[in-house]
Chains A and B, each alone.
Chain A
C-alpha cells in the first residue's frame, strides 16, 4: 500500500507527538506535496496577524517523492510567511521527504512554540525532542544533525534571529524563499532530523521500473541535457542579457548587466566547478560544486550559484566578481538566508544610498553598487541583525515603509522578485502579481514561453503583448502546482510536460487520473492558496512602482514597461479564466468545493 494515510503532529508547546489518520478521500484527491499542503493549511493554519507569534509549519513530500521517478525529489514546506503575511510554500530537494514517507507519513505538522531551542528527531516510529544550542550556522548544524545517517532540515543564525527572509537548509539544498527559517526560529526549532528503515511501496513496481528507465532515457536524450548539466540553471545568462535585455540589474534600474563576463557559467563552471551535485533521484543534476582554491576568497565552497543568485548577488547589486559572488552565496547558505531576497534588499539599500536617501551615518559604512566588501558586510549585518542590517532584516517592503522610500522598493506582496525583468515579459508581470507567495518565477513558470515564444501547447507568444496571458498564467500556475504536488523538479518540465505525468501517478499511487483531472487538482490548490491569502487580508494583486513608472533603460527591451491598464486587462482575463470575480475572489461554488474537500482532514 503506497499511502499510509497518516500525519505526524508535533506540538512544541506540550512537547508531544501524536499520529493522526488522514482522511483517505482527501489524500487521494490531493495526492501530496502542494495540493495536500494547501488543504491542510486551509484547515489548520490560524488567521494570524503576526506569523512569528502564531503559526503552523507543514511539511509534505511530493506524491512521487521517495520513488526513483527521475527528478521527483521535492519536498514542500508550508506556513504563513513572515515576509508577505500570506501563503507560503517553500520547496527544496534533499532527501528528508523520502525519509518522512519511509516512516509512513504523508505529512508532518508542527504547532506551538518550544520553551528553549530544540531539535525534532524522528527515527521510524520513535519520536523525540532534543535540546539544541543557538548560534551554529546552517551547514554546521546540518552536519552535526545528520550524524547517524539522518536527513535534515535546519536553520542558521538568520532563522534564529527572525530575519524575515531566512530559509531552511535541506541536505545541501534550501527551502529558501519567504522566511520559513524565521518561522522555525520563532518556534525555537533549530532543525528536524529524520531517518527510517521503512519500505515505500509503489502500487505497480514492475510498471514503475519500466517507466523509470523510459523517463531516464527521455531526460538524457533531450537536446538540453548537456548544457543544463554542464552549466546549471545559469546557462542562459548571456542570452538573457544580450538577446533579451531582461536581466534585472542595479535594483531594476537597468536590464542588461555590463560586467557580466565572470558571472556567466560559461566562464566560471569550467574554472571553479569540481563536479555536479544532484538532489535525490535527479538523473539530471544541475547543482555545481563550486570551490575557490586560492586568493582572497580561498576556501569558499558552495553548491551553486544558481541563476537567480547570479542575479541577486551579481547583477542586482552590480557585482561582477564571481569569487565575491560565491562568497556571498556561501554566507547566505551558512547564515541561512534566501539569496534572492538578500540581494533584493541590499540592492534596494544601495540605490537609496546612491540617491542620498540614506547616508553613511545611517549605514555605518559606504554602501554603493558594485562594492563587494559592502555586500559581504551587509549580508552579515542582516543575518545577525546588527546596525542597519537590523532594518534590512525586515525585508524590502518593511524597510521601504520605514524609510518612506516605497518608490524604489521592488517587491510584490513583500517578496523580492527573481531574475526576469517583467517589463519586457508581460505574462511574467501578471505571474508576479498573481503568485500567491509574492513575486516568483516558479509558481507559473511562464518566462520560458515568453522568452522563446513557444512551449508545450503555446506558440507565437509575443512577450510584449497582454493577449492570451491571463489564460496562460492560470493554466501554467495549475501545471506548476501539479509539479509541486507530485514533487517533480520543474527543471524537467520540458520533458514530462503534462502528458507524461498520469502514468507515473498511476504506477506509484494506483490512482488513475487524466491530465485534465491533474489540472483540476492544481486549480483547486490555487483556489485554496488564494483563500488563505484573503483570510490573511492579502487580496491585492499588483506590481511595484518601478514596473509601471520606469521603462527599461537600455538594451534589446529598451522602452518596455507595464502600464496599470495592461496589468488590469491581464488580471481581468486571469480572474475570468479562474472563474473568479472581477476583484479576484473565488466563486461560491469553488469555496463550497474546497470547504467540502477539507471538511474533515483527520479522522477522529
Chain B
C-alpha cells in the first residue's frame, strides 16, 4: 500500500484527457467538473494536475473536518464511506489540493481506480505516475498546493 497518483506539472500539456477519462470511468458520463483530477492552468506554460495525495502532501484535513466520520485514512489510502457521508461539503473546503467534488449529495475523490488509475494509463507525457507516496519530495506537493490556492475559485464545482 501507499501507492498514489503523483502529478508532475512540468510535463503536463494541458490536454485534460485525465479529467475526461476519470469522469467517464467513475460516472459513466463525461464531465471534467466531476473528475477526481483537475488540471489547473497556472500560467502560459504551467498546467498543474491536482488530485488526492492520500495524506502524503497534506495533514488529512478532510478526515478531521468530517462531522460524520465518513473519511478514513488506512495504510496510505484515504477513502470516503458514502453511506456515512451526508454531503455537508466541509471536506471540500479544507482540502488543500481541491481534490474533493461534491455532487449527488456525496463527496467524491480519487479512489485510485482500485489500483489501476485510468488517468495514469492515459497520460501520454508521463505527467502522472503511480508511485509510493512516501518517496515523493514534499516540495512537489507544496508547489501544487500553492497553485490550487491561487486558482481555487475557477475550479470549484458548483452545481
Q: Does A533 contact B (CB under 8 A)?
A: no
> 1/0 per position for A145-162, CB-CB distance to B under 8 A?
001110000000000000
A102 to B31, Cβ gap below 8 A? yes
Residues from chain A with Cβ under 8 Å of B45 in the complex: 274-275, 289, 291, 301
Contact A301 B44, CB 8 Å, known A197-B157, A281-B20, A285-B15? yes
Name A258-302 residues within 8 Å CB distance of B: 274-285, 287, 289, 291, 301
B64-72, B86-94, B120-128, B134-142 - the one binding chain A:
B120-128
The A85-99 residues at the B interface (CB cut-off 8 A) are: 95, 98
Q: A285 is contacted by which of B13, B29, B31 (Cβ under 8 Å)? A: B13
What A residues does B155 contact at CB under 8 A? 149
Would you call A200 an interface residue if the criterion is a C-beta within 8 Å of the partner chain's C-beta atoms?
yes
Contact with B along A507-522 (1 / 0, CB 8 A): 0000000000000000
Interface residues of A in 204-218 (CB under 8 A from B): 205-206, 208-209, 212-213, 216
Whether, in the assembled complex, B150 has its beta carbon less than 8 Å from a beta carbon of chain A, the answer is: no
Q: Is A25 engaged at the interface, CB distance under 8 Å to the other chain?
A: no
Chain B residue with Cβ nearest A71: B15
Give, as a whole number of angstroms, the nearest-CB distance from B154 to chain A. Answer: 4
In the complex, what's the smallest C-beta–C-beta distance from B77 to chain A, in angstroms? 23
Q: Report B-chain residues with C-beta under 8 Å of the C-beta of A149.
A: 153-155
Question: Quick check: is B81 within 8 A (CB to CB) of the other chain?
Answer: no
Decide: A70 near B17, CB < 8 A? Known: A216-B122, A275-B10, A289-B44.
yes
Given contacts A205-B29, A274-B45, contact A280 B124 (CB under 8 A): no
Q: Could you tell me which residues of chain B, from 88 to 107, have a CB within 8 Å of some CB in chain A?
A: none
Report the count of interface residues on A (CB-CB < 8 A): 42
Task: Say yes or no: is A251 at the interface (Cβ < 8 Å to chain B).
Answer: no
Q: Which residue of B lies closest to A70 (CB)?
A: B17
CA distance A462 to B10 in the complex (A): 45
Render B4-15 as a binary contact track against A, CB cut-off 8 A, 1 for contact: 000000110111
The answer to the question of B16 belonging to the interface, with a C-beta cut-off of 8 Å to chain A, is yes
Residue of A nearest to B151 (CB): A149
What total of chain B residues lie within 8 Å of the partner, measured CB to CB?
A: 32
What separation, in Å, do the CA atoms of A282 and B15 have in the docked complex?
5
Q: Is the CB of A95 within 8 A of B30?
A: no
Q: B124 near A220 (CB under 8 angstroms)?
A: yes
CA distance A68 to B124 in the complex (A): 13
Which A residues lie within 8 Å of B157 (CB)?
A: 197
Are B27 and A199 in contact, with the CB atoms below 8 A?
Answer: yes
A584: Cβ under 8 A from any B Cβ: no
CB-CB nearest in chain B for A95: B16
CB < 8 Å: which of B34, B124, B158 contacts A216? B124
Cβ of B48 within 8 Å of any chain A Cβ, yes or no, is no
- Minimum distance in angstroms from B60 CB to a CB of chain A: 27
CB distance from B158 to the nearest CB of A (A): 7
Query: Which residues of B sit under 8 angstroms from A198, Cβ to Cβ?
Result: 31
Q: Which chain A residues lie closer than 8 Å to B10 at the CB level? A: 275
B144 CB-CB contact with A under 8 Å: no
- In this complex, what residue of B is CB-closest to A200? B30
Q: How far is the CA of A503 from the CA of B34 in the complex (A)?
A: 26
B13 touches A275 (CB 8 A): yes
**A68→B33 contact, CB < 8 A:** no
Among B11, B15, B28, B158, which residue has the most Cβ atoms of chain A within 10 A?
A: B15
CA distance A496 to B153 in the complex (A): 38
Distance of A469 from chain B, by nearest CB (Å): 36
Q: What residue of chain A has the Cβ atom nearest to residue B40's Cβ? A: A149
Query: How many angstroms from the CA of A301 to the CA of B46 in the assembled complex?
Result: 13
B17 contact from A68, A201, A274, Cβ within 8 A: A68
Check if B21 is an interface residue, CB within 8 A of chain A.
yes
In this complex, what residue of A is CB-closest to B18?
Answer: A68
- Across the two chains, which residue of chain A brings its CB closest to B38? A149
Q: Which of A197, A202, A213 contacts B122 (CB 8 A)?
A: A213
A281 to B122, CA, bound (A): 10
14 pairs of residues in contact across A and B, judged by CB atoms under 8 Å: A67-B20, A67-B24, A148-B153, A197-B33, A200-B31, A201-B29, A201-B30, A216-B17, A274-B45, A278-B15, A285-B13, A285-B15, A289-B44, A291-B45
**Besides A102-B31, A280-B20, A283-B122, 7 other A-B contacts (C-beta < 8 A):** A95-B16, A206-B28, A212-B24, A276-B13, A278-B14, A281-B15, A285-B125
Please give me the 4 A-B residue pairs with the lowest Cβ-Cβ distance, nearest first: A278-B15, A68-B20, A149-B154, A278-B13
